[in-house]
Amino acid sequence: MSGRALAAIISAGLSKFGKLEGLSSREIFLSAAKEAFDRCPNLNPKKDIKSLFIGQMSESSEHQGHTGALIADWLGLNPIPSVRLESACASSGAALRAGVQAIMSGLVETVMVGGVEKMTHLSTFDATEYLALSSDNFLEQWHGFTFPALFALIARAHMLKYKTREEQLAAVAVKNHKNGSKNPKAHIQKEITIEQALNSRIIASPLRLFDCSLISDGASCLILTKPEVAKRYTDEPVYIVGTGQASDTIGLYERDDLTSLNSIAMAAREAYRMADVGPDDLDVAEVHDCFTIAEIISYEMLGLCGKGEGGTFIESGQTEMDGKIPVNTSGGLKSKGHPVGATGTAQAYEIYLQLTGQAGKRQVEGAEIGLTQNLGGHGSTSIVHIFKRNI
């Protein structure tokens, strides 16, 4: 099936990301859905959408489970089947993949996939524990390991083995804030300086505040259909041509090499092969910068640069807006924000805008091929998708 379209995106929606006071998950999701419905007048949601897949990491923040049924109801889409998928921060990446699989199976023609998370009302203690849920509770959380601390362990190992420097980590934050300053939906639309990043307080050494992504509220969604019928709905569909997913140990301590996130490489290999695309073919990518070190390792695992070269790669400027492969044009998790369950399909939303020329001030001219890389936990799940404007 190399290089053929697996599914087509005919519309997409994104809520504002940030501290959305007074709004709960269901209302935030509706604002994303409304954009997707309005963007595609030829779509009759009640008639055309045959299944819903919603990513959300935890029901605990709002004491609201059964999110699949909840969203179907609030979208006025009953009685279509609807499920919530949970894979930590890769929950909506998993929802996207489930939607692609449903279409490929032939069971349904058109589906909605998306994700949502409500987090900003949590205290720092509660948010810390919420995010740590994605690691090994009995061995990691039980000993006081936080989520930033786990990535700090990875960062220190990478710095030691490859001479990666704090300035290189900070350069990721500076770049992503620069991009996010041009994104009207980003949580923090402000540029930062490298000095600000390097002087910010330590969260878990060697990681500082500006190495960490934001705790945000937000939702995102996509409408997918069978490639053969996409043009019935829109003149400018975006085709999904590769999907890959891989799992790794739930505990970081079980890995032989702490400087790699092998699940990314495994997921990417599957997606590249399916798409008949290589890293050099990409025009734009959204990668999972939950921490700055994660973006650096992502470059390496996706083959954008060699192993251990992620630090020099960010410094080379090749992932800037005007570089060879602009990465996180949306601002990434660092500046756009990271409502964990919404992140996977929010990445795909940005690629959809880029490939249809709708990314405004952050448009990569003539972008044809894009990639998203969504991470769950400290790499226990990785999901990669590849998108094409033309088939």
DSSP 273: H
- Nearer Cβ to other proteins, position 151 or 299? 151
* Nearest distance in Å: CB 146, other proteins: 6
- Nearer Cβ to other proteins, position 78 or 137? 137
Q: Yes or no: say if 314 and 175 are a contact pair by the CB < 8 Å rule.
A: yes
* Nearest distance in Å: CB 133, other proteins: 11
* Nearest distance in Å: CB 300, other proteins: 17
Q: List the alpha helices (DSSP H) in 181-287.
A: 194-199, 230-233, 262-275
- Nearer Cβ to other proteins, position 84 or 158? 158
Tokens for 73? 């109801």
- Nearer Cβ to other proteins, position 119 or 153? 153
DSSP 79: T
Tokens for 80? 């279509």
Q: Yes or no: say if 12 and 36 are a contact pair by the CB < 8 Å rule.
A: yes
- Active-site residue identified among 158, 338, 378, 385: 338
Tokens for 355? 């490939």
Query: At residue 13, what are phi and psi to the nearest 5 degrees?
Result: -145, 150
Half-sphere exposure of 9 (CA within 13 A, CB side): 31
* Nearest distance in Å: CB 203, other proteins: 5
Tokens for 183? 């994104």
Contacts 24+ apart (CB under 8 A), 61-65: 61/117, 61/118, 61/119, 61/121, 61/122, 61/126, 61/130, 62/24, 62/25, 62/118, 64/24, 64/25
* Nearest distance in Å: CB 311, other proteins: 17
* Nearest distance in Å: CB 256, other proteins: 9
- Nearer Cβ to other proteins, position 26 or 158? 158
- Active-site residue identified among 89, 212, 221, 305: 89
- Nearer Cβ to other proteins, position 249 or 318? 249
Terminal alpha carbon distance of the chain? 13
| Residue 212 annotated among the catalytic residues of the structure | no
Q: Note the residues at the interface with other proteins (CB under 8 A).
A: 124-125, 128-129, 132, 136, 138-146, 148-149, 152-154, 156-157, 160, 201-207, 251-254, 258
- Nearer Cβ to other proteins, position 157 or 302? 157
Partner residues linked to 388 by β-bridges: 239, 369
Tokens for 11? 């519309």
- d(CA 287, CA 60) in angstroms, rounded, equals 27
Phi-psi region of 340 (alpha: psi -120 to 50; beta: other; left: phi over 0): alpha
- d(CA 235, CA 210) in angstroms, rounded, equals 41
* Nearest distance in Å: CB 292, other proteins: 15
| Residue 89 annotated among the catalytic residues of the structure | yes
Q: Yes or no: say if 356 and 314 are a contact pair by the CB < 8 Å rule.
A: no
Catalytic residues: 89, 338
